[in-house]
A and B are shown apart, each in its own frame.
Chain A
């Protein structure tokens, strides 16, 4: 079996994308092969422009899902850069590789059982004690998160700080792909936020009220109606759905 990150299907998309032959081109390299692409494209659009269909490493196309991690170098620079393909414009001389997934096994824990101790994060991710403070994780984060600082905060049991610092993480995994200490940062960030929300943050009265409302069955009738609808009824409702609230004026 072959695993494809993307497959080339020869489907030029020039006319779809609102630029013409006069749009300046840049040279990029996709897994070693050279392509000339319009300079207004994102990396993801450029891959498609070059004729590939993305079957992995592509999700929301809006910088939120973290599926399109990309690493690249530039011809005039020794550094290895990282980015989200859907959020970054192509540049002249980019050598690109997609990293659709970074293996990072998540520790098993039951949030009900977790107690807030100084070592709560070390208990599930002891490897954070291997951090050498090289800051490579922070440098590789496409979200501009101070990753090293939240790992350091987690190490010293400062859950609140770690939760706040890691809040914008979209779990693309680039940090974990480059860490010399083999830390699985984004899982650590997820655990600190969970511990913070359940054990430290003040409880939201609105949420409690809402849950009470749901428990009392306010939506039961509507749900039942949906569950008993025929396929054609569901299709009709889907077609006529409101995608965004329309303002009155």
Chain B
């Protein structure tokens, strides 16, 4: 199987390890991820004003490229924010042909001459894992189950809301948790999993982010979590980098992308998974479960 993916700017910078671990884990499962030949920033946040079509140009330009130049019906995203923005813009123009026409006209094309016609499906990589490959199939491929590892799946906002584009039940998502169970981990659950991490306030007002992550990390730790697992590069930044900066958190929790933990369970190499690029080093925890000691994975529990 061959999948075209839209990386997004952050996957090319501070989230390189997400991309590298996704490519490696998917390759292990027999799926090749190949990058779109051309793409631009998606715009990150879906514009919520009814008339601000200028801000829809970025996502629609990406979808137009997928449809018209690469002739694909589906594009896979890694980043939750890209997923959300591309999906919402796609929905907007599919439901409103007049707006699509305006956007196409601005891009100097129309639906018979290179313009976007609305045929692309925007899919998050987690959906590929759940719906196309299947968690059962993934479970069968696990070499070293993450036995006894207590992980807290954190979803944040952009995978779930608005419900029209969400990939799981908005109030009680299980997609990352189910994947973690397939990998053999123990899943810690808490309603805080769907609360915002503080998002872009990480630029303008870190105190808002600190307040958010103290609550999220505090709840996860009180339930016994040893690590957080997530899919969004901005959540990763806030929960990893900002957590490490937050002086009030005495015992920080390491943060993984789900693809990194897939790689660990598949026995892939530490360097490939970018486990050295975290602010809170997750390797001591992994060593505890025997990672990279072939044949000894799985914490001995009584």
Contacts and interface: CB of A to CB of B under 8 A. Distances in A.
Interface of A: 118-119, 131-135, 148-149, 152, 155-158, 180
A67 to B, nearest CB: 29
23 contacts: A118-B13, A119-B13, A131-B40, A131-B41, A131-B58, A132-B54, A132-B55, A132-B57, A132-B58, A133-B40, A133-B41, A133-B43, A133-B58, A134-B57, A134-B106, A135-B57, A135-B61, A135-B107, A149-B38, A149-B40, A155-B9, A155-B41, A157-B12
Interface of B: 9, 12-14, 38, 40-41, 43, 54-55, 57-58, 61, 106-107
Q: Is the interface of A mostly helix, strand, loop or mixed?
A: loop
Given A132-B43, A152-B40, A157 B13 contact: yes
A118 B14 contact: yes
A133 B14 contact: no
A133 B58 CA distance: 5
A79 to B, nearest CB: 10
A222 to B, nearest CB: 50
Contacts of A149: 38, 40
B191 to A, nearest CB: 33
Nearest to A134: B57
Nearest to B56: A132
A161 to B, nearest CB: 11
A82 B14 CA distance: 38
A118 B61 CA distance: 24
* In the complex, the 8 A-B pairs of residues with the closest C-beta atoms, listed nearest first: A118-B13, A133-B58, A156-B9, A133-B40, A156-B12, A152-B40, A157-B13, A134-B57
A148 B40 contact: yes
Contacts of B43: 132-133
Contacts of A133: 40-41, 43, 57-58, 61
Nearest to B62: A133
Nearest to B107: A135
A196 to B, nearest CB: 17
A164 to B, nearest CB: 15
A119 B41 CA distance: 15
